[in-house]
Amino acid sequence: MAALRGEGNPLALPPATAVVVVVVDGLGSAALKQRAAYARTLNSAGGSLWSGFPTTTAAALTTITTGTLPGSHGLVGYSVLDPDNDRVVKQLSGWDAGLLDPLTWQREPTLFEGLAGSGIAAYSVGPGRYATSGLTKAILRGATYRSAESIEARFETATSILRSSERSLVYVYVPELDMAGHKYGWESDAWSRALEQVDSEVARLAGALRSDQAMLVTADHGVVDVQPQKHVLFGGKPELLAGVRHIGGEPRCLQLYFEPDLETDPREHLVEAWRAAEGHRSWVVTRAEAIEAGWFGPVAPEVEPRIGDLLVAARKGIAYYRDADQRGRSMVGQHGSWSPEETQVPLAMFGAFRA
């Protein structure tokens, strides 16, 4: 935005009349490097960024589109507690009118809204199924949504906007890599083919940029492949569930919400039980400890109860499930925790931003 306005900025980006920001869901720097043969264009223009915590799509995309961390914008995990209604809500799909308002649950103005009145048009380009979703209303407000179903069509739409010669910021969302990663893992042929297609489209759009136009390619988080034998089933251990009212987060970063009236001694026993059982392979921290350590950035008072009373963030290549029948155990590629494979994402620059 500063570059579009011709202002100084921390990356020292030069002025540009139009910028395309491509967010490739699930593209970690480590996986990109390991699959360099499928992504020569992205690897040739590569830097990296820290994605923020937790490394989950709803939280990280909101950080990208607001420029604030989860403790401020309020989307603090994949599934989190809605304190007013005593229920756990999925932040990607659990929006419903009257209970969770995307215009207030997500607390920060978007960067697109910050362009209002500047003479710079804001667009978001993504699949049609997301055009009116609650998450789109929460994190893309202020941008004109353009639906395009395929990767190729989304890049073509961005190119068309650039050809209009108007000053613009274009956000392009690519979910296909993350979908392939979840189903097959990042080490699969399917993931590599999706990466190769993204790289091809990036190269094509980069070649169409005028000298005063630019493109950035980044991601919301990376990915870790976790096979079923690495799943940790904790439902058969009563000492880990006594006093737990809700389980949120995701398999690589559980957020456990305690019974509101749980007294101090049972609360401390529950925390210590998790540390004794899982402290050798996960960070096991209380909400207060996570906030003090800055895991979520500055945390607003109304956001604090959305964070679990206890967080269990995997350090090793594991994922947590309550029992053997829990939905989602077929998922190979996972994310949510603190590993470099999850937190480090690419920053590739093209056109006017290419050094």
212 and 271 fall within a common domain? no
Q: What number is the average pLDDT over the span 172-196?
A: 98
Answer whether residue 8 shows pLDDT above 70. Answer: yes
Question: How far is the C-alpha of 253 from the C-alpha of 256, rounded, in Å?
Answer: 10
Q: What is the pLDDT of residues 156-177, one digit of tens each?
A: 999 999 999 789 999 999 999 9
How many domains does one find in the chain? 2
Amino acid at 122: A
Residue type at 37 in one-letter notation: A
Residue 317, domain extent = 228-331
Beta strands in 61-158 (DSSP E): 79-82, 87-90, 121-126, 144-147
- If asked whether residues 254 and 130 sit together in one domain, one would say no
Give the domain CATH number at 296: 3.30.1360.180
**Residue 119 shares a structural domain with residue 217:** yes
Residues 173 and 56 in one domain: yes
**Per-residue pLDDT tens over the stretch 20-34:** 999 999 999 999 999
pLDDT in tens, 277-291: 999 999 999 999 999
Alpha-carbon distance values, 233 to 195, 224, 236, 240, 322 (Å)? 32, 18, 7, 11, 5
User: Is residue 251 located within the same domain as residue 310?
Assistant: yes
Same domain, 177 and 295: no
Q: What is the pLDDT of residue 152?
A: 98
Question: By C-alpha distance, which of 85, 102, 180 is closest to 139?
Answer: 102
| Orientation angle between helical segments 151-163 and 189-208, nearest 10 degrees | 10
Q: What pLDDT score was predicted for residue 98?
A: 73
Is 112 in the same domain as 245? no
38 and 179 in a single domain? The answer is yes
187 and 281 belong to one structural domain: no
Q: What is the mean pLDDT of the chain?
A: 96
Collect all residues with Cβ–Cβ distance below 8 Å to 46 and sequence separation of at least 6: 29, 32, 346, 347, 348
Categorize the per-residue pLDDT at 355 as very low, low, confident or very high, splitting at 50, 70 and 90: low
84 falls within a domain: no
Q: Which pLDDT does position 99 carry in this prediction?
A: 83
Mean pLDDT, residues 187-213: 97
Same domain, 36 and 140: yes
Residues 235 and 294 in one domain: yes
Q: Which residues pair with 254 in a beta bridge?
A: 249, 312
DSSP code for 247: E
At 11, the pLDDT band (50, 70, 90 cuts) reads confident
Given a contact cutoff of 8 angstroms between Cβ atoms, the answer to whether 144 and 192 are in contact is no
Q: What is the CATH number of the domain that holds 33?
A: 3.40.720.10
Residue 1 resides in a domain: no
> Is 10 part of any domain?
no
If asked whether residues 27 and 149 sit together in one domain, one would say yes
User: Is residue 124 one of the residues assigned to a domain?
Assistant: yes
pLDDT one-digit tens code per residue, 90-146: 999 989 877 899 999 999 999 999 999 999 999 999 999 999 999 999 999 999 999
Token representation of residue 40: 């020569």
